[in-house]
A and B are shown apart, each in its own frame.
Chain A
Amino acid sequence: MRSQQQPSEPEHLRAATRVSPAARVLSLVQRETALIVLVLLVIMCSLLSPHFLTGNNIGNLADQMAVFGVLACGQMLPILSGGIDLSVGSVLALGAFFAAAMSSHGIFAAVVVALAATGIVGFVNGIGIAYTRVPPFIITLAMLSIARGLSLQFASMANNASTSGAGAAPVSVAPGSGFQNVAETPLPFLPWNIPSGALIAALVFVALAFVLRYTSFGRHVFAVGGNEAAAMLLGVRVHRVKIAVYTFSGMLAGLAGILYASRQVSAPPTAGVTYELDAIAAVAVGGTLLTGGVGTVRGTVVGLLIIQILPNIFNLLGLGSNWQQVARGVVLLAVVILQMVILPALSIGGIPMRRGPEARGPAPTTPAPGAT
């Protein structure tokens, strides 16, 4: 039968953990592609224009990025879980509306109501996605339309306009409520003119990173995105995770709406149109796989910066602003193709990315294991 001596620990087990230096470097490049691209872009920008790294410019950038940053964080959760949320742009508008409409009752009321309302919208998304088998993009695409319609409707109701739809005017933030200070107050302790909205966004980043890394909920989100079947079998409450993920996405979109309303001092019902696409682009460029299961907040921040700096570069290079839009789409497509096709093919220390549950082994059996 089996030989009696104990064979020493086999080479292949040790080999699996030994990685050549070249492979290490390549693996690092692959993981930090976004960061490298960002650094290159920043260098390019500052070479092309002396104004790029001034306090004003950075302050402006930070200001713009507050809204998008929160939105991208909100988008990151559904994508990590293997889904997507196309409704965040419209939900932003809803959040802005509620914040502005309630601003006359004070900042606290405005924030709470906005977050609650958008949380409910996200919750509805989550229920639909968790309990029906409809793909997330359909549900959130439908919600995009519904939420947009609702925000137009609320806006016209708030303005007491005629019902023929002509009254979708922006709802103004109540003056004197201090609401505009939510996002506008410059932080006193920093040399640059960075408004507090940026601080809020930064807090959201940190909080999300913490949750993803240090709580079991975070692990579960990755698990659901990585291999949902395995996750369910291993005891993860997949449905709860999904509902939570979309609820948070809605609430963060609401927070983005609050920041938006605070900056603009009004809530146009057309706010946030196509913002969801930028959020998705930022998340994807930052290294989060659109199939889910992989991603870091750090990456999303980098991706966001890249997406925001690109228009700057175009301006500096003299390319028309129209090409920016094209570039956005092309960049998103290129990133997705890279993620899905080229990187696995090159397999530079990368993880073999199979679609669906990892399966090796003989040809499929019919549902019952009839063969063994």
Chain B
Amino acid sequence: MKPNSAAPRSSPGARPPDQPIAPGGAGNLLAGSPSAGGAMGRNALYTTHMLPWLQRYGSFLALVILVIATSVISPNFLTELNIRLQLQTFCLSYALIGVGQALVILTGGIDLSVGAVLAVGSCSAAVLMNNGYGTVVAFALPMLLCAVLGGFSGVVIAKTGIQPIVVTLAVMIAARGVAETIASAGVTYIQDQNFITYATTNYGPIPIIGLIPMSVILTAIIYLAAGFFLARTVAGRYIFAVGGNERATRLAGIPVDRVKILVYVISGLLAGLAGVLYASHNSTADPFNDGLYFELQSIAMVVVGGTSLLGGSGGIGKTLIGGLILTVLYALFIQAGWPTQTQLIANGVIVAGAVILQGGLGRR
């Protein structure tokens, strides 16, 4: 693979027009990439008026359309029970790792190891519970371990400059092995009853919404925290900057390495938490199959939401919408009678399609 260059190459003669662009959005299309130059000429109406609007609200619109479509096909879709179920499924699979993935992608990297790290989280939680360590430890230690794994990825990526794909691919392989080592007995059943129900405890009833599962609450808190982190802290500004143009950010004196390590640590941490919740919900931990293909789902979720794989534009809110789109889409498949493997195909098509639609990328 060719190493990614840190910034889009500027191009002679492509004159970007003066026009308002949504902050943190659509700029990539106009950042002097040659394909943009061609597209500009073709249909000014499309590019000047429709495209920025689409960029900003397109995914939300898609979500609304999907929800309508699904509830038309299946009248049960918008019932309280079903919504709770869907949300729970979402939160227990790729919601949390989507946040971590979003942060990593915003810096222009990618984390392929999240699925395997999730398995590490679930397996270590299972083993800890079975050895009588208590819920607190069963939450804290796996998260710590996974944060360390993420930090390892981050350090290697930041300090050696090797591409994130390769490093996280290797960590993915190794982490899968770590999970298998931890859960040396294979599929591990968790005995502790408290723990098992932890993720599925419902709180409420809350007016209008009804019962809310614990996992949804936790996920909501994390999304809010992550959104705040990105929008309101200096570190958040740095994350956008590194993704937007790593060279310029480095030249502005920002500690780029620290920023990169931070996002991978967060990604690992959240994957660990997701793993613990996963184990809790399933009451088992399977080192071979837990988290399999989750990395692709998290990338799909981030990309569908409108975050560019180049980095520098996107956000947590967009990622949430992307995740909800996927959830509804899968529900649609099931309602339409399509088998589960359709999800796999859909993921692939969605990722490829969304990335191509983003105008491709400036790097090889």
Would B176 and A84 count as touching, CB distance under 8 A? no
Complex alpha-carbon distance, A135 and B175, angstroms: 25
- Pairwise interchain contact B352-A138, C-beta atoms closer than 8 A: yes
Q: What is the CB-to-nearest-CB distance from B37 to chain A, in angstroms, rounded to a whole number?
A: 12
Q: Is A247 located at the chain interface by the 8 A CB criterion?
A: no
CB contacts between A and B, total, < 8 Å: 180
A329 → chain B closest CB, angstroms: 3
- Check B174 against A325 for contact (C-beta < 8 Å): yes
In this complex, what residue of B is CB-closest to A147? B348
A139-173 CB mask vs B (1 if < 8 Å, else 0) is: 10111111111101100100000011100100000
A291 with B341: CB separation less than 8 A: no
Q: Which of B5, B171, B296, B344 has the most CB of A within 10 A?
A: B344
B131 in contact (CB, < 8 A): no
Quick one: which of A321-370 are within 8 Å of B by CB? Answer: 322-330, 332-333, 336-337, 340-341, 355-356, 366-368
Q: Is the CB of B296 within 8 A of A141?
A: yes
A327 to B178, CA, bound (A): 9
Is residue A195 within 8 Å, beta carbon to beta carbon, of the partner chain?
no
Contact across chains for B2 and A228 when beta carbons are under 8 A apart: yes
A292 within 8 A of B: yes
* Contact mask for chain A residues 256-276; partner B; CB cutoff 8 A; 1 contact, 0 none: 000000000000000001100
Q: Which of A8-16, A36-44, A126-134 contacts B (4 or more CB under 8 A)?
A: A126-134
Contact assessment for B348 and A144 in the assembled complex, using a CB-CB cutoff below 8 Å = yes
B38 close to chain A: CB less than 8 A: no
In the complex, are the beta carbons of B348 and A145 less than 8 A apart?
yes
Decide if B360 touches A280 in the complex (CB within 8 Å): no
Distance A121 CA – B360 CA, assembled complex (angstroms): 21
Partner of B174, one of A148, A273, A329: A329
Interface size class of B (residues with CB under 8 A): 35 or more
Contact present for B173 and A142 (CB under 8 Å):
no
Tell whether A367 pairs with B11 under 8 Å between CB atoms, given A145-B296, A146-B344, A340-B161: yes
Asked if A83 is at the interface (CB within 8 A of a chain B CB), the reply is yes
Q: A137-B1, A142-B349 are in contact. Are A325 and B362 (CB under 8 A)?
A: no
CB within 8 Å for A141 and B177 given contacts A163-B337, A356-B2: no
Contacts of B340 in A (CB 8 A): 152, 164-165
Q: How far is the CA of A254 from the CA of B245 in the complex (A)?
A: 41
Is the beta-carbon distance between A326 and B3 smaller than 8 angstroms? no
* B35: Cβ under 8 A from any A Cβ: yes
Is A133 touching B362 in the complex (CB atoms < 8 A)?
Answer: yes
Tell me if B1 and A163 are in contact (CB < 8 A). Answer: no
Asked if residues A133 and B173 are in contact (CB atoms below 8 Å), the reply is: no
For A290, list chain B residues within 8 Å (CB).
1, 166
Q: Is the CB of A148 within 8 A of B344?
A: yes
B contact residues around A150 at 8 Å (CB): 341, 345
Name the contact of A83 in the complex, choosing from B1, B175, B347 (C-beta under 8 A): B1
Q: Are B162 and A341 in contact (CB under 8 A)?
A: yes
Instruction: Check if A337 sits within 8 Å of B160, measured CB to CB.
Output: yes
Q: List the interface of chain A (C-beta within 8 A of B).
A: 79, 82-84, 128, 132-139, 141-150, 152-153, 156, 163-165, 168, 228, 273-274, 277, 280-281, 290-292, 320, 322-330, 332-333, 336-337, 340-341, 355-356, 366-368
The 5 closest A-B pairs by CB, nearest first: A329-B174, A325-B177, A149-B344, A326-B177, A133-B360
> Would you give 12 A-B contacts (Cβ < 8 Å), ordered by A?
A82-B1, A134-B356, A148-B341, A152-B339, A322-B177, A324-B177, A325-B174, A325-B177, A329-B172, A329-B177, A332-B170, A336-B167
Known: A128-B356, A325-B176. 4 other contacts (CB 8 A): A133-B33, A164-B340, A326-B174, A336-B162
